[in-house]
A and B are shown apart, each in its own frame.
Chain A
């Protein structure tokens, strides 16, 4: 073992082998991980774009500018505009109540916030059918007043609200817990009122966490399929969101068109990932700065 190896080993080799793995093991492990990721992540992502352009750019543009596609895009945007701000507002309120005060039943509340993550999106859709469907709890009432929720936009919005509900709160609760209340208390003792304290002290402190939550919430709101599928009724040009439109195209064997719309959604997903990483980087930077101070 103590062979007469030349003493000059080079500066690169700093750690001895007993606390890391031999180079061949490292190479094998890295290759296995990369192969798995290539097969499961990179390949599907690439396939979407290749399939989208398989029949040429004209088919692609025609697919994404088709009136049904455009109305699906519009509906998806509408759903996002309605659901994300509401859930962001809820997230901030819930995080404020949970992290700044001590009260009975707090842990139950925290568990309830997590609930939609554990529930199948199909059930999330089903519960609204049971409430507002024609045979549902409010079915007769809605019918009499000629209000349509299921198989209409309100149902889609409600189902999306349900599934995207925890994202912002889940990001803010641990963040605000870690930050404590000392700054808010200082602000109040200096004479600022509650609203000013929130706007000038709390909000700047949580802005990255809030944005992070909003981005995740947004991504899920755009892409939600199962829950929306139950309540939408798949009426073309009326209650089809982008994922539902993709499903219809795919089932009608219009693969290129399906992948064309899918490629748009993939671009959104990639943008989401990039934004997410930028925010993580910013938040890490901020933490480092605080450590220095």
Chain B
């Protein structure tokens, strides 16, 4: 089922939680709503599910207006961060709940319900725990029960609110892969909320980056990571180095560096900032171009196959972070205290609207 979100706005008093949000999600897509806490992503998810109502705008499922349809009738699956399992029911009863509360006419027979629940428990690999109560399960198991419970009603839309937020790192990674596989198998249109950029980049088909109740960027993981359209997105998705400077003759002048910047003519003479990801910082032993600036290596630490290098620029009093593969690090024979030259490989220049950054 496709989901259309048209101009949705919501506010609490004078505080705007969501402002003119519009997203089109085609059938079968797995979308991540990514943003810091307070960005409105959870509110948006709750509005899609019908748990909350928008002040303005419409929610459409397959082109059908759902705005005033009750949660009960929307046939969505919803998974909460803290599982929200029914404590007094066993795993089996939790999963069966959605099937048992149907009106008598639509209800499956007891045998059918049992079959279906067992099938779902098999899917989440919890067959052996059907008789347990939620308090007897680990966090990862509880979240799998919650997922099975949501899937039991055969939702056309699956909504997940920070589904892995309460789990430890290892379980989180396993469950995330598992969710991806599950999605590839069933192709339920899914939206999940997260504040973890790695999670969004890892799982989603498309990422909606949100901040202050507004959409910052929508795109595939590659698009938003490699071509962020705003300083916020750049900053939020991964580490970044900043080069503050002034635009002169199409170049960003910053200390001794003159960085090629493809900006409009009107921006001449304005303050600007270049954003460079650590893995786009090139380290060289010799100065080969005007863009390069002298720097001293302050710290090196090796994490697996990647080497993180901290540098202090010699022309201006600023620190930088670079990231390079181990082979290259060996080839350059870098060491602590060494003087090198650095230049940005790929970068993006933003002209701040105001100079608050």
Contacts and interface: CB of A to CB of B under 8 A. Distances in A.
Contact of B70 (A9, A14, A18): A18
Nearest to A18: B71
B53 A11 contact: no
A9 B52 contact: no
Contacts of A19: 51, 71
B185 interface: no
Contacts of B58: 7
Interface string B141-153: 0000000000000
B262 interface: no
Contacts of B71: 16, 18-19
Interface string A1-30: 111010111110111111100000000000
Contact of B68 (A1, A15, A18): A1
Interface of chain A: mostly helix, strand, loop or mixed: loop
A232 B127 CA distance: 69
Contact of A3 (B11, B50, B53, B68): B68
A130 B187 CA distance: 81
B72 interface: yes
Interface string B48-67: 00111101111000000111
A9 B50 CA distance: 14
Nearest to A13: B53
Contacts of A17: 70
Given A7-B56, A8-B56, A14-B52, A2 B68 contact: yes
Size class of B's contact patch?
20 to 34
Nearest to B74: A18
Nearest to B49: A16
Interface string A185-226: 000000000000000000000000000000000000000000
A8 to B, nearest CB: 7
Contacts of A7: 55-58, 67
A8 B7 CA distance: 13
A1 B55 contact: no
B186 interface: no
A19 B80 CA distance: 15
B52 A1 contact: no
A14 B50 contact: no
Contact of B52 (A8, A10, A15): A15
B53 A1 contact: no
A154 B73 CA distance: 70
Contact of B55 (A10, A15, A16): A10
Contact of A15 (B12, B51, B56): B51
A249 to B, nearest CB: 53
Contacts of A8: 55-56
Contacts of A2: 65-69
A17 B72 CA distance: 10
A9 B53 contact: yes
B13 interface: yes
A14 B52 CA distance: 6
Contacts of B56: 7-8
A39 to B, nearest CB: 34
Contacts of B52: 14-16
Nearest to B50: A16
Nearest to A17: B70
A5 B56 CA distance: 11
Interface string B33-58: 00000000000000000111101111
Given A11-B12, A15-B53, 7 more contacts: A1-B68, A7-B57, A8-B55, A8-B56, A9-B53, A11-B13, A14-B12
Interface of B: 11-13, 50-53, 55-58, 65-73
11 contacts: A2-B69, A3-B68, A8-B55, A11-B12, A11-B13, A15-B51, A16-B50, A16-B71, A17-B70, A18-B72, A19-B71
Interface of A: 1-3, 5, 7-11, 13-19
